[in-house]
Amino acid sequence: YSANQQTPDSAPTMTAMVTGVKTSDGVLSIDQDVARQEKDNAVIQAHKLTTILELAKARGMSTGVVTTARVTHATPAATYAHTAERDWETDSKLPAGTSVKDIAAQAVDNFAANHGMEVLMGGGRTYFMPNTKFDPEYPTVKGRRKDGRDLTSEWQTKFNGKYVWNKAQFDAIDPANTKSLLALFEPSHVQYEADREKMDGAGEPSIAEMTDKAIDILQKNKKGFFLMVEGGRIDHGHHAGNAYRALTDTIAMSDAVRKAMEKTDPEDTLIVVSADHSHVFTIAGYPKRGNPILGKVVGAGKTDFAKASDGMPYTTLSYANGRGYHVLPVGGDTSYNEPIQTGRVADMTHVDTTDQGFHQEALVPLSSETHAGEDVAIFA
């Protein structure tokens, strides 16, 4: 929960995780006494909370953030930015009269010269680029910044850093001679793991590969390091009602955890794995062990599909709310282009529910599936 909601969004939950303080919906690393969308930076500065990344930086440690979402999205932004609106990711999002800096600018401006984050990797390239400049990967897409700043260039100059935007450039980075690295692989979020190799012509690394290189850069510091790694697209798969992509990205996150464990020693490095919230996602129906998790329910000792009281089979996985059932040629976010279709609208007997384009049934019709309010596990 957050200070003002029983079911939270990612801004106050990640704020709580990195500062130890509960705060309100939509705000990042400021306390609950500030109204959402507060425009006055003096108010923000008076109520800002110190993050674990900032504490690590003050101790002389190296710091990094890796995400499969935009690096300016709520979860990564909570580690380094202070604002009363999580959506103020670039200056073109700021309302008139706002003295608070946008989140992308804070990634550069909140740190002294030569003392910025050593690693910032993920998506959100256009949030760092001026609107007069075309994206290097998608020639019809322009940057989003109205202030003319090219934050990718400023990162390199201010922090003696390197900037990459594709897999070949990423692979060419030698951690031994890299002081800091800004890597932005998409205009917005990076590709889902299921789509990464087939949908991205320029290529982008997996979250495990980003974690691997981040640790190589960060561990050069004898004083130690702090690294936040987020499998952000797990959340997006659930919001779209596509368990296939949510779970595939969860496997990719597991690979990143395994890579971090291989590259560190538990004698001197603590690894914590958790979530900032859950989703209204259920595993139910008494399926037998070994039944495909994406499949239809088959009970223990049975060979036929279990039937609901309407005489139709049902899936092990479903959502309490969202856009509902669809089978699409491409999965994930494409469901937002389809009409909302909740409830029991189709007989699943001959539907391949394990297909990547299958979107699970949902009960309550909403434009997007919501978070849930139960406690999340913490592993360390």
- Residues that are catalytic: 10
SS3 149: coil
For residue 374, the tally of other CB atoms under 10 A from its CB is 9
Evaluate the CA torsion angle 159, 127, 89, 333 in order and state its sign: negative
Residue ranges of alpha helices (H) inside 96-178 are 103-109, 151-158, 167-172
Specify the DSSP class assigned to residue 318: E
Token pair, residue 369, equals 């599936």
Cα 244 from Cα 148, distance rounded (Å): 40
Token look-up 């400023």 returns: 154
Determine the Cα–Cα distance for residues 219 and 61; give it in Å rounded to an integer: 9
CA-wise closest residue to 45 among 102, 83, 86 = 83
Helices and strands (DSSP H and E) totals, the chain: 11, 12
Tokens found for residue 200: 């991205």
Q: Which of 112, 78, 358, 364 is nearest to 230 (CA)?
A: 78
Give the length of the chain.
380
User: Which residue is listed with tokens 């205009």?
Assistant: 187
3-state SS, residue 279: strand
Q: Rounded to the nearest 5 degrees, what angle is found at the Cα of 40, between the Cα atoms of 38 and 41?
A: 110
Across-strand partners of 315? 296
Question: By the 8 A CB rule, do 29 and 45 touch?
Answer: no
Which residue's structure tokens are 């997006």? Answer: 236
**Radius of gyration for the alpha carbons in the chain, expressed in angstroms and rounded:** 22
Q: Which residues pair with 226 in a beta bridge?
A: 63
